[in-house]
Chain A
Amino acid sequence: MDRDQETKGSRDRVSDLSLGTREPLRCSTGAAEANPAVVARGLTRVYRRGAETIRALKGIDLDIQCGEFVGVVGHSGAGKTTFLNLAGLMDRPTEGRLTVLGHDVGKRGAGFDALRRKNIGFVFQEFYLMPTLTAVENVLLPTMWGRGNGEGRMSNVELKGSKHRAEELLNLVGLGQRMTHKPSELSGGEMQRVAVARALVNSPRLLLADEPTGNLDTLTRDGIFNLLLALNRDSGLTVIVATHDLSLESRFTRVIRLEDGEVKNG
């Protein structure tokens, strides 16, 4: 199926995403080639599990440009999640150099929580919604840690603005009628759409999705994938999706294949 056709249904709504937000979703206004979102050089991540040493990433080199819709594909254990965790500033490389949105992850310091909060949205395979919160409260979760464009708690006006945006995002993902439902009252597809809305609430420059359709049926999988596609196509958001679903490969603008912690093509 043609990507243009696939995203057609979502386009009108998704293109409105930047309306009323503090800034556009794209990671740079310049030419994509000149603005790398993620650059890895000799990126290595080694884990120790008891006596066992696991080399999850073995010195990979890659560049992902702003505005790309990239698929990181490979079998389980290939290193996809490890790469996303590093790109998402949730982990540190053991060796090598990693630059995310111009920030050297090797020089990781206190500012990385704020960088992640302001610039990176994360979607997980298992949704990871807060069971005690409603859909709209889950979407608002990242705003609770700061303004998104600066530090400190939000004022009442900003709180109202965030709530409006969360409702806007839930409408966008088709959950306008499910805002006050808790995760236990939502289907898998609905939960993942809430997770996507949550990842977008702080207007990130980079969206990372780790097997976002892994727990969904085919129909729901297509709905979520089309939503991510539309976000990239219409808002210029850089999207990196890790998946082992080979049927999705043709729908990315570029595919990075990982095998046993190494890049096989880029």
Chain B
Amino acid sequence: MSFMKFALKNLFAHKTRTILTLGSMVVAVAVLFTLVSFNRGYEKALKTQLQGMGIHMMVVPVGCPYEAASLILKGGKIPNHLPMSVLDDVRKIPEIDIAAPSFMSGIVRPEEGRTDIYVGIDSATLRLKNWWKLEGSFPQNPDEVVIGDNVSLIELSGIGDQIYLPEKDATFNIVGKLGPTGTEDDGFFYIPIETAQRLFDQPDKLTAISIRLKNPDDAPVVTARLATVKGAEVITMGELLGTMMTLMGAAKSLLLSIVMIIIVISALGVLNTVLMSVFERTREIGVMRATGAAQSHIFGLVWLETLLLSLLGGAGGLVLAIAGSRVIENVVKRFLPLAPKGSVVALEPGSFLLVLGFVVGIAVVAGFYPALRAARAKPIEALRSE
């Protein structure tokens, strides 16, 4: 009989207790692995998305939230706007290749549980977002609209159809449709910027100016020059990413605290199970010693049992996490407005190693004391125990 087989038999001598402890380990590992994978995947996806935009910086009104779409989606209004004159100042800077103005506002549709976001743009946006796959044409007239891919699915509309806005008593002809971009662009209505300003009673106002530089290395120079523009604030994409990650940081800290609690609880659970098992088997440990087991054998056996318990729990947790990662991803993305499109859960080898470290760490910490206690049992006293 091998040491391993003996350890497994000991472990499952009390099936219910062992299974319950395994259950807590499975949940702890699944949560830890999902969180680590989500954290890595989210950062990666966000970075990729921002870098893919080809936008090096944005000019926004002072005090304006970076993520205007998120605010509008929740029914809020953007407090400040840039005057159109800022666009002229921006376009005078020679290092700037493209400066695309936009005006964004929304129409809340409570009965349908959504907010339609209208984005006023000009042809500069089309040059800036050169990855857009536009079917049809760009709006040339005030009553023309281009719709994002998700909008066409929701509205069940396509090129040639009309959209009527009863709130504004306006009708738009759909002249173009964007192919799926995998970004929030898929959910917007694009109309000429002047139309948008008029529609929402904000003439000569802008929400933001997206900028592409001729050379990204000129960002500090351009930022310095834009800093002199009154009422405007410059955000580079690096800052935007950093800010988003900071915003995420608070939520991440909370989640990590929860995970730490789970780790402590599962470690105590394993400790309790193994310690109880040692107490109950005092006489058996005496028999082992009487049949020639050295202290190191007993220590090794109890520690092996702990390691097996933790590894089984770890394996179960990983299976659960991988199986449930898509579900968790959907839930997370639903509640996080900043979530980028595509997969935000990255199942990486590094995460596996981290979880493996956690599992072995639990076994090492939780198994040490029971193993030591068992090994120190004196054969005679152990045999006499009830």
* Chain B: CB-nearest residue to A128: B287
Q: Any chain A CB within 8 A of the CB of B291?
A: yes
**Binding site secondary structure of chain B:** helix
How many inter-chain contacts with C-beta < 8 Å in the A-B complex? 73
Enumerate B253-301 residues with CB–CB distance to A below 8 Å: 283-284, 286-295, 297
Q: Known interface pairs A91-B380, A130-B287. Does A153 touch B3 (Cβ–Cβ under 8 Å)?
A: yes
Inter-chain CA distance A114–B294, complex, in Å, is 8
Enumerate A67-103 residues with CB–CB distance to B below 8 Å: 85, 88, 90-91
Q: Any chain A CB within 8 A of the CB of B6?
A: yes
Q: Any chain B CB within 8 A of the CB of A133?
A: yes
Enumerate A129-146 residues with CB–CB distance to B below 8 Å: 129-133, 137, 140-146
A205 — which chain B residues lie within 8 A by C-beta? none
Enumerate A111-157 residues with CB–CB distance to B below 8 Å: 113-114, 116-118, 122, 124, 128-133, 137, 140-146, 153
Contact in complex: A117, B3 (CB < 8 Å): no
Q: How far is the CB of B37 from chain A (nearest CB, A)?
A: 38
Q: How far is the CB of B376 from chain A (nearest CB, A)?
A: 14
Contact in complex: B289, A90 (CB < 8 Å): yes
Q: Known interface pairs A144-B1, A144-B3. Does A90 touch B290 (Cβ–Cβ under 8 Å)?
A: yes
Inter-chain CA distance A141–B290, complex, in Å, is 11
Q: Any chain A CB within 8 A of the CB of B383?
A: yes
A132 — which chain B residues lie within 8 A by C-beta? 9-10, 13
B290 — which chain A residues lie within 8 A by C-beta? 88, 90, 116, 122, 124, 128
Q: Any chain B CB within 8 A of the CB of A159?
A: yes
**Chain A interfacial residues counted at CB < 8 A:** 31
Q: Any chain B CB within 8 A of the CB of A202?
A: yes
Q: How far is the CB of B22 from chain A (nearest CB, A)?
A: 18
Q: How far is the CB of B271 from chain A (nearest CB, A)?
A: 22
A146 — which chain B residues lie within 8 A by C-beta? 292
Q: How far is the CB of A123 from chain B (nearest CB, A)?
A: 10
Q: Any chain A CB within 8 A of the CB of B2?
A: yes
Q: Any chain A CB within 8 A of the CB of B379?
A: yes
If A90-B290, A118-B292, A128-B284 are given as contacts, then 12 extra A-B residue pairs at C-beta distance below 8 Å, sorted by A number, are A85-B380, A90-B289, A128-B283, A130-B284, A132-B10, A132-B13, A133-B6, A141-B288, A144-B293, A144-B297, A159-B2, A198-B291
A-B contact pairs, 28 of them (CB 8 A): A88-B290, A90-B379, A113-B289, A113-B292, A116-B290, A117-B291, A124-B287, A124-B290, A128-B283, A128-B284, A128-B287, A130-B284, A130-B287, A131-B284, A132-B13, A133-B6, A141-B291, A143-B1, A144-B1, A144-B2, A144-B3, A144-B293, A144-B297, A145-B288, A146-B292, A153-B3, A198-B291, A202-B292
Residue numbers of B with Cβ under 8 A of A are 1-3, 6, 9-10, 13, 283-284, 286-295, 297, 379-380, 383
Residue numbers of A with Cβ under 8 A of B are 85, 88, 90-91, 110, 113-114, 116-118, 122, 124, 128-133, 137, 140-146, 153, 159, 163, 198, 202
